Structure 1
Amino acid sequence: MANRTRTPNEGLARLLKQAKWSRSQFALVINRMGAEAGLGLRYDQSAVSHWVGGTVPNPPVRRLIVEAFSRKLHRTVTHAEAGLPLAAFDQAPPGVDTVEGIVDLGRADMDPSRRGVMAAAGLFSAGLAVPVFSAPAHATEASPVTPGKQTVRIGAGQVEAVRRMTDKIADILDELGGAHARPMAAAFLVNTVVPWLRAEASDTVKKDMWATAADLVYLTGWMAMYERDHGTAQDYYVKALKLAGRAEDHVTYCRTLRGMSLQASNLGYGPLALKLADSAAEAAPKAGPRLQAFLMGQQAHANSMVGDHRRARSLLAETEAALMKADNRRESIGGYNQSAYAFHVSHVLHEGKDLPGSISALQQALKVMPSNERQGRVHFYAVLAQRQLEYGHLEAACESWARFLEDYEHISSARGDEHFDTMRLRLKPFRKAQAVRQLSPRIADVALLKA
């Protein structure tokens, strides 16, 4: 006979202990909340014991369970935390899967010590189905519906707070690196943004909050990507797409697709990078010149990866023309400037085997890079040094790596760590050369600081 032993629900047992509810008390709470939702429930202690023992209640009751704990513990409790499967999308209230997914991602992301566990749990999927931009929906359908009345109401001030916090996190990312900024973003998402997504608001405020939340989720995914946590990054990106779709925010939707294209290109998936870049450009609304440049620059890079260099050069010309029409306003999310354009030129030239041209474009990118973008300089100088060494210019490469070390010392970034390891590996065969011997003490000092 098959073994029908159920796995005990440790998550539910843990939450009961945190809430200090007996099983009888919890049954009464669920019955009372069921009445709020128009459900005639008659559960008792034995039903709760069955749930703790591994029996899965039906979808409406699961939602009552997580809402009951959320109210009692004054935080968002997800189905996953309660050891319960989320109902199929057509049975769940709109947005529940997205919001709960953000909470689960964010809680794991708030603790940098769990990064290794997270990376092992989720892998980048090259065959992921991308959520399509949804048809216009009523804003009232965008927020998760929970039993009972919401006790919090938000307005334009809360939307502006999320926008400003997103800008501040982007600044910290630029100056100190993703390892510092990413846990902050995750904590803000879980502790502040998610409760506001669940709050009462006017239709306009609801849509604005979902749009601003999409920006922050996109930024958090961007940081995860550059921290080499690609499975988590992809999860954040998909959540951002869903949020943007519900907010009817075409700009953030296209920006996120472009970020997914960049991730695919970083991992060497040229055809996928091109597909996502083209999708972002095709789905874009009547965009301003800066957004056009932002999208076309990535298209150019992706086209060069699949060998269509003629199309890549044509797109670069269009990118430059669009950027010339843009104003000088700095955008923390999805910003694109002359430095980013020159970096795309360098990528296209490198894919086309024009190594000297690629090096010159990188040098130009660094020349016009804003002074506060330390993390960008770390990446640009590291790539420049690698290409200079590839071209046979060891002394020039060492000079670039010395500049890399100046900024790398001050940031915390997995991408920077990867560049540091690459530098030491590439220089090992040349350790007797004068330029390398002069740089070696500095490398050793930074290695001790980062240990």
Structure 2
Amino acid sequence: MSGSDADGTGHGKRPNEQLGSWFVRSGWSKGELARQVNRRARQIGAHHISTDTSRVRRWLDGEQPREPIPRILGELFSERFGTVVAIEDLGLRTAHQSPSVSGVDLPWAGHQTVALLSDFSRSDLMLARRGFLGTSLALSAGPALVEPMQRWLVPTPPSGPGPADSAGVRRPSRLSEPELGLLESTTAMFRQWDAQCGGGLRRKAVVGQLHEVTDLLQEPHPAAVSGRLFTCAAELAELAGWMSYDVGLQPTAQKYFVLALHAAKEAGDKPLGSYILSSMSRQMIHLGRPDDALELIHLAQYGSRECATPRTQAMLYAMEARAYANMGQPSKTKRAVRMAEVTFADALETREPEPDWIRFFSEAELNGENAHSYRDLAYVAGRSPTYASLAEPVMERAVELFSEDTEHQRSYALNLVGMATVHLLKREPEQSTRLAEQALHVARRVRSERVNTRLRKTVDTAARDFGDVPEVVHLTDLITAQLPETAEAV
């Protein structure tokens, strides 16, 4: 074992009972936990980490590991148990963090939002270049997350003059209209790349572009130009958050989402703010916090009810259904699904102009979200075949539509995996493995740890429940041979 992840604090005098309790309940061996820590470390670029069973034993005996291991352990146990497991819950200490890189309860003021975006994007770029994402970010959940986000709706007084115009003199913006348009079209291009190729391909490029925009925001501009720059910053920060989420960097993703919401507020763009809140909601569902997801979606709906387009409202209803499904509330899930369908039909009839960020929410995406709501209900209801049967035709329609869409390949892979899980719920392993193998072919073209993780979990479930089925054995071998172990965050 390399000594480069050795701890500076030495052995603790008492065993770490909190970490030991989570470890025992996880069912992992010391070797398996060590392998998972090493794999996650490689994902985030911490190539100096090389953990083995003796190191895990020392943690359980009370040794305090250095960053980023506490953060990695928190993420691994959070994913294992489907809930947020804070570093402190594991009996571990975190490195001191400055207010600029920690927490989500941030000031709602324009110049501070710019400074925070600049600091965080610069830190992300610098630490990524060193091959180590470094700073220990902790996920926020519950009231600690939801209550600060509620201030998105509270009017704030205009910011005072910045250092560049403290004398009250407003110089013309050095940005021309074509240059502003190019910034906006570049953001749309990054979004298209993410949909096609996954979050692992261009994350650093998006973060770099965000940092450039924050530099521009520190110069004096007319109000209209500043508003467009803040919108651009909000969209880029949301996309950086989404890509971070896609490659498994959950605390980093949450931080970008929060900063994006602050920028959207400065831009006065409530529909964009509601979209950012929906991304945060999706992350909370992924982390096993549907109650938090529902509060965030309701906040998004309340804040944009008079200005969001029908397509945006349909997307919010679909996410509301996902939250209700994961809370095990069938009637509310079905109502939200129906509202999503009706509102989406309105969007098709009115053909109202739409911002680029909602263009992804197509008929395929609508069907995929609603099918996953029924699928999630089936799991919450104890693998209910009734809800699995409700999910099947809707998921089939989503897969059919995505198969014709070359732009949204990650969504195609996710819905193939979703369809595979539906067949597992219906105890149809042969059909499940056929779809999972299709998803594998797409996954190899898409740099998305989210796709890879869902595919691995689906195959693990198939192997556990139908390990004697030849198709399942073949697929398990195929996954082991072909699916990459890691997806670097770049």
The two structures share one fold, judged by TM-score above 0.5? yes
Distance 2:312 2:219 in 1: 31
Are residue 367 (structure 1) and residue 400 (structure 2) matched? yes
> Aligned partners of 2:327, 2:484: CA distance in 1, in Å?
41
Query: What is aligned with 2:188?
Result: 167
Show structure 1 runs of 5+ residues with no match: 1-82, 87-91
Specify whether residues 444 and 119 from structure 1 end up closer, same or farther in structure 2 by C-alpha distance, changes over 3 A only. farther
2:379 paired with 1:358: no
Shift of 1:247: 1.3
Deviation for aligned residue 1:96: 3.4
Code of the aligned partner of 1:242: H
Match of 2:155 among 135, 140, 157: 135
Structure 2: which 5+ runs fail to align?
1-96, 101-106, 379-386
- TM-superposed CA distance for 1:348, in Å, is 2.7
Deviates further, 274-283 or 155-164: 155-164
Per-residue deviation, residues 66-97 of structure 1 (Å, max 9, x unmatched) = xxxxxxxxxxxxxxxxx9877xxxxx994333
In 2: Cα distance, 1:306 partner to 1:95 partner: 36
Partner of 2:45: none
TM-score (norm 2): 0.66
The answer to whether the aligner puts 1:337 opposite 2:374 as a matched pair is no
Cα distance in 2, alignment partners of residues 263 and 119 from structure 1: 20
Deviation of 1:204 (Å): 1.0
List aligned pairs for 1:291-440, cutoff 5 A. Answer: 291-327=312-348, 332-335=356-359, 336-353=361-378, 354-369=387-402, 370-429=405-464, 430-439=466-475
1: CA distance, partners of 2:137 / 2:293 = 24
Deviates more, 1:254-263 or 1:321-330: 321-330
Asked if structure 2 preserves the Cα contact closer than 8 Å seen for 1:171 and 1:332, the reply is: no
Kept after mapping to 1: 8 A contact 2:165/2:220: no
1:374 Cα deviation after fit: 0.8
Classify the secondary structure of the residue corresponding to 2:213. Answer: helix
Identity %: 19
**CA offset at residue 146 of structure 1?**
4.4
Q: Are the equivalent residues in 2 in contact too, given 1:228–1:414 (CA < 8 A)?
A: yes
For 2:341, give the aligned amino acid.
E
How far 1:325 sits from its partner (Å)? 2.2
Q: Which residue of 2 aligns with 1:205?
A: 225
Aligned to 2:244: 224
Count of aligned pairs: 361
Which SS does the other structure have where 2:357 is aligned?
coil
Give the aligned partner of residue 298 of structure 2. Answer: 278
Native 8 Å contact 2:198 2:246 kept in 1? no
d(CA) in 1 for partners of 2:430 and 2:354?
Answer: 35
SS in 2 for 1:402: helix
**1:241 lines up with 2:256 in the alignment:** no
Cα distance between partner residues in 2 of 1:423 and 1:239 = 34
* CA pair 270-116 structure 1, distance change in 2 beyond 3 A: farther
Residue deviations 1:111-134, cap 9 Å, x none?
657787458533243322214235
Contact kept in structure 1, 2:424 and 2:462, CA below 8 Å? no
8 Å contact 1:288–1:326 — kept in the other structure? Answer: yes
Q: Work out which of the residue numbers 145, 156, 165 in structure 1 matches 2:163.
A: 145
Q: Which letter maps to 1:209?
A: L
- Is 1:123 aligned to 2:155, yes or no? no
CA RMSD of aligned residues (A): 3.1
Deviations 1:18-67 (A, max 9, x none): xxxxxxxxxxxxxxxxxxxxxxxxxxxxxxxxxxxxxxxxxxxxxxxxxx
Structure 2 vs 1, CA of residues 309 and 188 (structure 1 numbering), >3 Å: closer, same or farther? same
| Alpha-carbon contact 2:233-2:263 (below 8 Å) kept | yes
Instruction: Note the alpha carbon deviations across 1:272-319, whole angstroms, 9 max, x for none.
Output: 111111111111033221111111111122223333322322222221
Q: Contact 1:293–1:323 (CA<8 Å) still a contact in 2?
A: yes
Alignment partner of 1:189 is 2:210: yes
Per-residue CA deviations over 1:106-165 (Å, capped at 9, x if unaligned) read: 234336577874585332433222142352755xx4885348898972243333222111
Structure 1 distance, partners of 2:390, 2:120, is 41
1:224-274 Cα shifts (integer Å, max 9, x gaps): 222222211111111111111111111111111121111111111121111
Given that residues 241 and 256 in structure 2 are in contact (C-alpha distance below 8 angstroms), is that contact kept between their aligned partners in structure 1? Answer: yes
**Equivalent residues in 2 for 1:33-48, closer than 5 Å:** none
SS in 2 for 1:268: coil
Match of 2:31 in 1: none
Cα distance, 1:386 vs structure 2: 2.5
What is the TM-score when the length of structure 1 is the normalising length? Answer: 0.72
> Do the aligned partners of residues 113 and 378 (structure 1) sit closer, same or farther apart at CA in structure 2, a change above 3 Å counting?
farther
Rounded Cα–Cα distance in structure 1 between residues aligned with 2:271 and 2:478: 44
Deviation track 1:139-193 (CA, whole Å, cap 9, x = no partner) reads xx48853488989722433332221111111111111110112111001111x21
CA distance in 2, matches of 1:448, 1:218: 27
Judged with a 3 Å threshold, the aligned counterparts in structure 2 of structure 1 residues 306 and 416 are, in CA distance, closer, same or farther, namely closer
- Tell me which amino acid in the other structure corresponds to 1:357: L
Is the Cα contact below 8 Å between 2:459 and 2:476 reproduced in 1? no
* Deviation (angstroms), 1:420: 4.0
Kept in 2, the 8 Å contact 1:112–1:179? The answer is: no
1:100 counterpart residue number:
115
Native 8 Å contact 1:105 1:232 kept in 2: no
Amino acid paired to 2:372: H
CA-CA distance at 1:388 after TM superposition = 1.8
2: distance between equivalents of 1:85 and 1:313? 42
Moved more, 153-162 or 369-378: 153-162
AA aligned to 2:318 is: G
1:217 match: secondary structure = helix
Q: Report the Cα distance in structure 1 between the residues aligned to 2:99 and 2:327, rounded to whole angstroms.
A: 41
Distance in 1 separating the partners of 2:220 and 2:303: 31
Structure 1 residue 450, shift from structure 2 partner: 6.6
